[in-house]
Structure formats: structure tokens, C-alpha cells
Structure 1
Amino acid sequence: MNDSPGWATPGSDPSDGERPGAPTDRPASDGPKWSAEQPPAGQWTSPAPGQAPPPQDPPPQPQQGQGWEQHPGQYGGQYGQYGYPGQYGGQYGYPGGPGQWGQPPAAKPGVIPLRPLGLGEILDGAVATMRSHWRSVLPITLVVATVVQVLSLLTQKYAMGDLAVAGESGTDIDEAVNDIVVALGALVGIGFLAALGGIVATAMLTMIYSRAVLGTTSTVSAAWRESRPQLLRLFGLTLLMGLGAILLGAVLLAPGLIAEDPGLFAVGAIVMFPLITWLWIKFSLASPALMLERSTVFKALGRSSKLVQGTWWRIFGITLLTNIITGIVSAIIVWPLTIVGMAVYGGGLAGLEDGTASTAWGALVLSGIGSIIAQTIVMPILAGVTVLLYVDQRIRREGLDLELARAAGIENYGTTGG
């Protein structure tokens, strides 16, 4: 079975909503392996508005002693008024609810159905992958979260602890400034390592989710092997986007700072946040495009811009909702352990007043454990939603579902032949 999806950039740029390779373009065949059975050819015709379709062929006669309403028929369902509904239960024999015309259910070889996705299906696909492929997903996020939290704990204990002691003892200005510089340097270093670990985890999770869409499992070693060639480019993409946001903020805020004008500074801030948010969503699909299409940094940015075009608000809403949900989950896990640690090991009210409660070993350890658990759960959900949004947009615009079906071994998916 060919389990490699067609992630490569398509040769043409179809218009929005246009899906190439429509079923009418394809020859009839023996029927898809994963698709539902289609009604026999010529059995149904399109009804006139407000009028039920008459039967074109007489239905098979029931066996002696059985009425129409009891005859099980070829497909296991009872014969309806104008024909047999088969296994789907529709009144006129076509898939859908009683008395309704609909489309056959989409094939679902993996965690999502191969058709345009709704919000619930995207969130469910991200969670389902983490649940069913936990042997591959959780070790990656657990290792990254543990390394980052251990380094963060040490930084908070020593660098931030020295700041608290310096402020309490009233040391001279030079030593205080030196402690602040050291602490800030340590925090920047931890932030850099956290970003690096997040990049590695995102790259590997992207490969795992791309396989989960096809219903195949990817091991940690396989995910690393597939993602490693693109890691430097992914790092460059992340760095470019971060520097771009910083540069944009500096350009918009600098006039107010230079002129020492609070009003001008406020105007710059008001313009900056919506603009950065717009760019963030516009390029939010660049990471999966870079990894799965094996493209360059600037091509990935262009691909994301093209895929997001016309659906910015939808992607913004799904991304925002995902971040709110994961933020609530993280808070539920982290804050109780942090409060208990500070109350039990932080020296009580005195420790809370002088700021030493947050740097006590017990408080730091419990807070770190909570953060490790939260990141292990949250990180794959965030990465999974981004990957599934990318897949969804390519299904909507480029008919990627047909390519994925072929890669999953579903023969003749999307044909009209019986």
C-alpha cells in the first residue's frame, strides 16, 4: 500500500471552492473500497421541486407472505415507498435521513473523514490522534516539556532567587543591575531553548498527524527521520516570523517613544496588535506547508497566505478557540499545584509578602510537575489543530481528499461508477 500522501504543491492554482478531479471527470469503476455502496444505476432520478421521484424500475416482488414494509431486500433495509433504501435508511433509497437526499458518507481511513472538516471534527481529530497514537505523541512532548521545565526551574531558583535576595538586602546599584542582567539573560536563554524544543516537537508531531490522517502509525524514530531534513528551515521560519513581529512592533511604537508622546504611542499600539494578529493567522499554516510539502521558507509563507485567503475569520476563530481551551486546561492543571506548593513550602504569608514563596524548592517542583503535565497534553493538540486546518484547507481548495484516499489504498474513491 502506498501510504505517502500527495503533499506536494499542486501544479495549478484552482480558484476558491473549486476541487479538481471531480467525480464527473473520472471513469466509472468497480466502486471505492472504503466508500458506501451507491444505488443501482438508473434506479433514481432527480425529483421536481416539491414532488417525490417516481420509481423508474419496478421494485423486486416480495416473497410470498411478506408485505412491502417487511421485505428485508438485498441491502438489509426495508423497501421504502419508491424503492429500497438499502443500508442507509433514506425514504427514497439514497443515503441521508428519512425523506432526504444526501451524499454518501466520506471514507475515514484515519482520524478524520476525507472531506471538508467542521470545527468539532478538527478538534476531535487532534484529540483522537493523541489518544490512539499516544506511544508516538506523548514521548515527544514529555521529553521536550521535561527538559524545558527543569531548566526553567533552575533559572527561577538561582537567577530569580538572587534577585529577590538582592532586593531584600539592599545591595548597591551595580550589583542589583548585574543580577537583573544575569536573570534576564537566563530567561532569554530558557526561552530560546523552549522555542527550539517546541520547533522539534512541532516538526515531529506534524509527521505523526500526517500519517494519522491516512490511518497509519508513525514511530518516534520514523517521525524524527522524516522531519530532520526540514528542521533548519522550520527554525528559520520561526525565527523570521518572530523577528518580523518584533520589527513591526518597533516601527509602530518607536515614533511615540522618541517623541515621548503617550497618544502617539497608544495609536501605534492600537495598530500593532490587530496587524500582528492578522499576519499571525495569515501565515499560521506555513509550518505544516514547509514540513509536508518539503518547501522553502518563503514558499511556505506564500502557500499559507494562499490557503488562508478568503477564510481568515474561520481559521482565526478555530485557532483562538483552541488556544482558549488549551489555556483553560493548562490553568486547571498548573495553578492548583502551584498554589499548594507555595502554601505548603513557601513559608506561609511571610513568604508570599517578600516574594520568596515562589522560589522555594517545593513550590518550584510542584509547579514544574504541573507545567510538564499541561504541556505534554496541550502541545500535541495545538500542533494537531494546525496540521488538520492545513489538510482541511487543501481539501477545500485542491481536492486533497482524493489524493489522500489513493495514498490510503482506497481504490477509485470519488468515482460515480457503481
Structure 2
Amino acid sequence: MNDTPGWTSPGSASSDGQDGSGIPRPSSPGDANGSAPQWSKDQPPAGQWQPPTAPAPGTQAPARAQSGPGWGGPPQHNQWGRPPAAKPGVIPLRPLTMGEILDGAVTTMRRYWQTVLTISVTVAVIGQVAEILAQRYLVPAAPQVDPDASPSEQLQQSADTLQNSVIGMGPAFLIMLVATLFCAALLTVVISRAVLGRPVTLAAAWQEARPRLLPLLGLTLLLALMSCGIMFVGLLPGLLLGGTGGAVLAALGGIAAFAAIVWLTVRFSLASPALMLERQGVLTSLKRSAKLVQGSWWRIFGITLLTQLLIFLVAMIVAIPFTAIAIGASEGGFSGFLSGTTPENSWTFLIVTGIGGVIINAVTYPISAGVTALLYVDQRIRREALDLELARAAGLPGYGG
């Protein structure tokens, strides 16, 4: 007989003098003679269950007896449902929400601020100094715009201005690329330790990240060349055709190329942490990223887009006052700026805006690298049960050595 209440099925056959409820039947004289038991005709009416009724207005409901834990009241905390996930570090070891990914990146920066800010500030200062020198000595001066020029001359002046802008963006873009690469490599190591709740020093992060810098540089350059090649292919037919039709074709080709670049950027967005943490090669990291992103492209795109929008807002909040101060402290001030005299190559303007750039990059580098690394961890938790390996690595009880 099963002594557990509720395990006997209704209507099951009785055995050993028991009915289907498992309760022994009362004996009677007839049982001893082998005849059927004789029951009295004066039996009490069958019990009928009635639902509980609400107490009358102004009266108090009777208190229920407490017969054990969980009876007579709501269940205690964590008595029902799934237990909370383990959290040895900055994130819980389970599939993450967008808010938890952002919170994990910010918590890493706040909890390990000495190591994180040392990395980000150092990289930001070196990058800003190199960018200031490039803008001062490599970027050609902007041509003066003649308001009395003919339409063809104004078109040529606009083309020259665009050319100078592209030339000026080149060194700044390369410097920013290299600075972001070094910062992302070091911060990925820091975040991988923060997930386990283990601090890491700058020396330890550099020692672990240094062998992976050249492969990471190759991966970054490969993605940049891939994007440039796709854009060139998209614009080439319109440029070859020329005229109004060529301009329309070039615009359509540029839009299609831009969409392809965005798709590939998201698809390969997890290649950098895969290369750093799994110590894979360049092509293997690209394949790993494509596998992890598959089926979650829109989710990763949305989180990445929201992160970049937040970074842009932070950058604007910091950049606007520093730009205003730089314009006011430069020669000519706001009156010269409004009249068309741009102080972009003056030392005062470059130094003040460079200080603002250091602050912006020191804050945004850890957030961007943290979101990318935690997206990688989240996708591996969802697909490969990485949370179990992280729990074992963190030394949590119940997960093995």
C-alpha cells in the first residue's frame, strides 16, 4: 500500500479489507460467517462539501489552524518556483535580460574602477594626444568659401571641403580603431574575471591579453576591409554609369551596401570576445560568432543599437559644454565662429576638446566592451550551458570541482 496521500487512483479495487481510499472497513458479525456484512438502515446522510462563504459584513473570519509550514498563509519566500540563480560576480548565471547586461557592464566599471579606469583613461589619453597631433599637422586647412562664386565653383568648393573632411577623419579613425582594440582586449579579460567575482590587476590583464593583440588586430582590419569592399561594390555601378541615373543607382547601391554591412557587423560582433576568451584564430572566431548569433540577430542588434544610443547621449552631454568652452577660449570666440571662422586647428580648441574626449572615452570604452563581452557570455549560456561551467569555475557548492 502506498502511504502517500493522493496516490491511490479513484475507483481502484480494494485489498486486505480496504476500500479505494486505503481506510479499513468496519467489521461486522456477518463477516465472520463468510456472509455479506449487514449494515443498519439508519445511516447518516452522505457528507456534502460546500464552498467557503465570505464572512458577514462587520464580522471577522475565523483563523485557520496552523498544521505545518506553508499552511494557512502564503508560501514563504523561495518555497515555490525556481530558486534564484547563483551570482558569484556581476551577473546572475542564467540567460540575461538587456537590463542585466547593461547593469553588468556598469557594475564591472564601478566595482573594479581602479583597473578599469586605469586602462580606459590611459588608452583615451594616448588616443587623444595622437588625434590632436594628427589634426594639427596632418589635416589640411579647410578652404575658404566664396559666397560670390558661381554654382560650379561652389560645387567644387563643397567637394574640396568633403575631401578635406575625409582626409581629416582618416587618421582619427585609425587612431580610434587601435585605441578601441587595445582597450577592448584588456577590458574583456577584466570582465571575464568579474563574471566569476574575481578581481584582476592591470599587469595580469596585460599578460593575458598581450598574446591575442595581433590576432585581434588582424580580425579588426579584416572586418574594416570587408566593410569598405562591400561599400565600394555597392557604389561602383553608379559611379561607372555617371549622370543623374548613375547618382540614383549609386544611392541605391550605397543603401544596400550599408544594410549588408550592418548585417555582417552584428553577425560577427561576438568574434572579438571569442578570439580573446577561447583563444581561437581569426577565421574560427568569425565562425563562432556567426554560430552564436544565429537565431538571435535581432535581439543582439537591438541591444547593440540601444547601447550605442546611450553612449552617443553620454558623449553629447559631455562634448557640448567642452566644445562651447573651446570655442569661447579660442581666438575670435563665438563671434568668429558665427561668422564662419572655424578654430578647429588652434591649440586651445584642440586641447579643450581633447580633455572632453578623454572623459568621454574613459566612460564609454568600458560600457561598450562590457556589453559585447556579456552578450557573448549570454549567448553561450543560452546555447551551450556555460553557466554550469562558470559556476564550477567560481567554486560554487553543488557544481563539482
Q: Normalised by the size of structure 2, how large is the TM-score?
A: 0.75
Aligned to 2:102: 123
**Structure ID, larger Rg:** 2
Q: Is residue 392 of structure 2 the alignment partner of residue 410 of structure 1? A: no
Looking at structure 2, the residues matched to 265 and 231 of structure 1 have their Cα atoms a distance apart, in angstroms, of 37
Looking at structure 1, the residues matched to 5 and 89 of structure 2 have their Cα atoms a distance apart, in angstroms, of 32
Q: Is the 8 A contact 2:123 2:179 kept in 1?
A: yes
Looking at structure 1, the residues matched to 363 and 172 of structure 2 have their Cα atoms a distance apart, in angstroms, of 21
Note closer, same or farther for the CA distance 1:111–1:354 as it changes in structure 2 (3 Å cut): same
Note closer, same or farther for the CA distance 1:410–1:254 as it changes in structure 2 (3 Å cut): same
Looking at structure 2, the residues matched to 256 and 379 of structure 1 have their Cα atoms a distance apart, in angstroms, of 38
Q: Please list every run of 5 or more consecutive structure 2 residues that lacks an aligned counterpart in the other structure.
A: 8-62, 147-159
Match of 1:396, SS state, is helix
1:365 to 347, 351, 358: 351
Note closer, same or farther for the CA distance 1:248–1:335 as it changes in structure 2 (3 Å cut): same
Q: Normalised by the size of structure 1, how large is the TM-score?
A: 0.72
2:71 to 81, 88, 113: 81
Note closer, same or farther for the CA distance 1:197–1:214 as it changes in structure 2 (3 Å cut): same
1:33-76 deviations in Å (ceiling 9; x for gaps):
xxxxxxxxx99999xxxxxxxxxxxxxxxxxxxx98889x8xxx
Aligned to 1:21: none
Note closer, same or farther for the CA distance 1:341–1:411 as it changes in structure 2 (3 Å cut): same
Note closer, same or farther for the CA distance 1:354–1:221 as it changes in structure 2 (3 Å cut): same
Q: Is residue 323 of structure 2 the alignment partner of residue 341 of structure 1? A: no
1:132 to 108, 111, 116: 111
Note closer, same or farther for the CA distance 1:331–1:182 as it changes in structure 2 (3 Å cut): closer
Aligned to 2:12: none
CA drift at 1:156: 2.5
CA drift at 1:335: 1.4
1:204-252 deviations in Å (ceiling 9; x for gaps):
1000000000000011110111111111110000000000010111111
Aligned to 1:5: none
Q: Letter of the 1:382 partner, please give it.
A: S
Note closer, same or farther for the CA distance 1:303–1:353 as it changes in structure 2 (3 Å cut): same
Q: Is residue 88 of structure 2 the alignment partner of residue 109 of structure 1? A: yes
Aligned to 1:27: none
Aligned to 1:282: 267
CA drift at 1:341: 1.4
Q: Is residue 206 of structure 2 the alignment partner of residue 224 of structure 1? A: yes
Q: Is the 8 A contact 1:163 1:179 kept in 2?
A: no
1:207 to 189, 204, 207: 189
Aligned to 2:130: 151
Looking at structure 1, the residues matched to 332 and 226 of structure 2 have their Cα atoms a distance apart, in angstroms, of 44
Match of 2:90, SS state, is coil
Note closer, same or farther for the CA distance 1:353–1:125 as it changes in structure 2 (3 Å cut): same
Q: Letter of the 2:240 partner, please give it.
A: I
Looking at structure 2, the residues matched to 252 and 280 of structure 1 have their Cα atoms a distance apart, in angstroms, of 17
Note closer, same or farther for the CA distance 1:363–1:412 as it changes in structure 2 (3 Å cut): same
Aligned to 1:257: 239
Q: Is the 8 A contact 1:159 1:179 kept in 2?
A: no
Aligned to 1:396: 382
1:128-165 deviations in Å (ceiling 9; x for gaps):
000000111111111111111112222333444x614x
Query: Higher relative contact order at CA 8 Å, sep ≥6: structure 1 or structure 2?
Result: 1
Looking at structure 1, the residues matched to 72 and 292 of structure 2 have their Cα atoms a distance apart, in angstroms, of 44
CA drift at 1:81: 2.3
Looking at structure 1, the residues matched to 5 and 292 of structure 2 have their Cα atoms a distance apart, in angstroms, of 38
CA drift at 1:266: 1.8
Identity of aligned residues (%): 48
CA drift at 1:191: 3.0
Aligned to 2:228: 246
